[in-house]
Structure 1
Amino acid sequence: MAIGSIIALFLIVRSWLSDRAEISRLRSIAQRNADQISVVSHEIRTPLALIRGAADLLGERSPGPLTDSQARFVTTISGNCHAVIALAEDLLTQARIDAGMFELHLHRVNLRVLASTVISELRQLHPVQFALDCPGAPPRAWADSALIRQAMTNLINNAVAHAANASLITVRIVNADDQVLISVNDDGDGMPETQRRELFTRFSSGRPLQDGTGLGLVITRQIVQMHGGDVFVDSTPGRGTTMLFSLPERTPGMVLPRSTAVGA
């Protein structure tokens, strides 16, 4: 073998080993960051959950009656606790995805039941009117129910936050060929193309004043893509916005068993 070929082979092997070492180093950093965020997320969620529980009890007037002003303050406390807990969940999910530590726990999920549960919870937090449109037999898909719940919650909260003038938010679930389509529609002001292009960018909330982290939509798209689907946006200024995501009814090559469905 010519000396030039030996040198070339040596350089290729050295480059390959260097790349492997760098990949291992980056994975180690990502996992360490995920572990740190997991600890911080837990430390944030635990006291907030206690505060939220206390605020919810006050809101139910279990300890006694409240004045109108006190009730508004309690609603503000409870709503902001929910928001910060959701942010902690988003940060933890993002860190685990970045570290390659995320595994899907797939079950046969009744999406009508899941959406109904999410809407019932969010009705307690937001004054806007919600509607669920899910005609026919309950749509089901193989999915990680906790993650899809998080994705639905993020899209609905996004609609509430950005459609300030909306009077109705509609969640629609339909079967379409071999997939299920889930959309969240508001009748608010809509958004221009420049805002739509930034929706799935981290730390860009899509609002005119750029408040918020924008993590919710980024994570929602990642969750959906992990399931083999995608997220789409349709918005017209003055006519509202529709956020839609697709889920395959089954994983590739999967034969559906006769086991009991989750949420059936």
Structure 2
Amino acid sequence: MKWLCYCSAAGAILGLFAVWRMPLPLIVRSIGAAFFLVLAGLFIFCGLAPSGTVLAALIFDTLAIGAMAALFVVVRFWLSDRAEIARLRNIAQRNADQISVVSHEIRTPLALIRGASDLLAERSPGPLTDSQARFVRTISGNCHAVIALAEDLLTQARIDAGMFELHLHRVNLRTLAAEVLAEHRQLHDMQFALDCPGAPPRVWADGALIRQAMTNLINNAVAHATNTKLITLRIVNADDQVLVSVSDDGEGMDEARRRELFKRFSSGRPLQDGTGLGLVITRQIVQMHGGDVFVDSTPGRGTTMLFSLPEQSPERVLSRAAAGAS
């Protein structure tokens, strides 16, 4: 019954070619092809050996059929997973495109409204009464809030779709922080302070994203800290990283509220406005730069939100961002 061994060897060779042409990673195809090559050699040896028996051929045939069946099951599941990943990626891409369009359509008219309200607040067209000035500040503040929300939604959609890219340059954090605080001083009737001792800290980062992170932390302090009189933005060099913190002298928060801070659509203030998306975005931005976000709060003694930015090369930042996105 040596013919059975030769037929089995031919089947193993066909299996080798079938495995090699399957849409599998190279390492998987190589292992499968090597397995069937060994089987073909055993079948040929069985046919040539004088002691070759039908039982040995049947055993080898069973091994070959079992291996082929297992391989096809693995391939089926692997292709199914690839199709599902592609489908989810397409959905995320469409969602990101839709949110991008909506964000653009929202930001454009709001930017015009904000510009007009800022001109009125500066009294460029003429003097305002106290009531008119208050209404103008309300308009301007809410325009800034909605524009910031649109930016958060757009950033989140791009991150979820895996289409986000960092645009790195050398960022002067003191200058950036001063610009952010200048914007907030025009919007809110409270004191803002910048504490940045020593030489201006500089890091390789995406300046627009770091501005967004700082703005989100300050907005969070303004919106959630009751009875706040002073908000301090502090930037400190610490070993091989830069620490950026936003502190308020408000009521602080307990452990239960702290656990809710980094959950989407949870503002930490029950029955009050706020999506809580800003802090989620802030943590993702910071983690893409290789840092992290921390919270230090004591009830009745205020809250400090802090994030770290490692001092590293742009190549290192991009590699960290790519690893995080994957």
How high is the TM-score relative to the length of structure 2? Answer: 0.76
Higher RCO, Cα 8 Å, sep 6+: 1
Match of 1:246 among 308, 320, 323: 308
Match of 2:140 among 57, 60, 78: 78
Deviations 1:21-46 (A, max 9, x none): 11111111101100000000011111
CA contact (8 A) 2:204 2:314 kept: no
Deviations 1:214-263 (A, max 9, x none): 11000000000000000000100001000000001113876xxxxxxxxx
SS at match of 2:93: helix
Residue 209, structure 1, aligned to residue 271, structure 2? yes
SS at match of 1:151: helix
Residue 69, structure 1, aligned to residue 131, structure 2? yes
Deviations 1:118-149 (A, max 9, x none): 00111111111111111111111110000000
Residue 180, structure 1, aligned to residue 205, structure 2? no
Match of 2:106 among 20, 37, 44: 44
Match of 1:140 among 190, 202, 205: 202
- 1: CA distance, partners of 2:95 / 2:124: 41
SS at match of 1:217: helix
Tell me the CA shift for residue 71 of structure 1. Answer: 0.9
SS at match of 1:2: helix
CA contact (8 A) 1:205 1:214 kept: yes
Deviations 1:185-223 (A, max 9, x none): 111000010100010000001114342111100000000
In structure 2, the partner of 1:114 is 176
SS at match of 2:295: strand
CA contact (8 A) 1:204 1:210 kept: no
- 2: CA distance, partners of 1:125 / 1:252: 34
CA-based RMSD: 1.2
SS at match of 1:37: helix
- 2: CA distance, partners of 1:52 / 1:210: 24
Tell me the CA shift for residue 62 of structure 1. Answer: 1.4
Match of 1:60 among 107, 122, 127: 122
Task: Return the index of the structure with the highest Cα Rg.
Answer: 2
- 1: CA distance, partners of 2:99 / 2:314: 33
- 2: CA distance, partners of 1:237 / 1:120: 29
In structure 1, the partner of 2:252 is 190
- 1: CA distance, partners of 2:212 / 2:314: 23
In structure 2, the partner of 1:259 is none
- 2: CA distance, partners of 1:98 / 1:124: 33
In structure 2, the partner of 1:160 is 222
Q: Structure 1 residues 252 and 147 mapped into 2: Cα distance closer, same or farther (>3 Å)?
A: closer
In structure 2, the partner of 1:236 is 298
Deviations 1:56-81 (A, max 9, x none): 11111111211111111111011100
SS at match of 2:184: helix
SS at match of 2:231: strand
- 2: CA distance, partners of 1:173 / 1:55: 31
Q: How many residues align?
A: 254
Tell me the CA shift for residue 91 of structure 1. Answer: 0.4
- 2: CA distance, partners of 1:102 / 1:167: 37
CA contact (8 A) 2:204 2:313 kept: yes
Note the residue ranges of structure 1 that are not aligned, 5 or more in a row. 255-264
In structure 2, the partner of 1:169 is 231
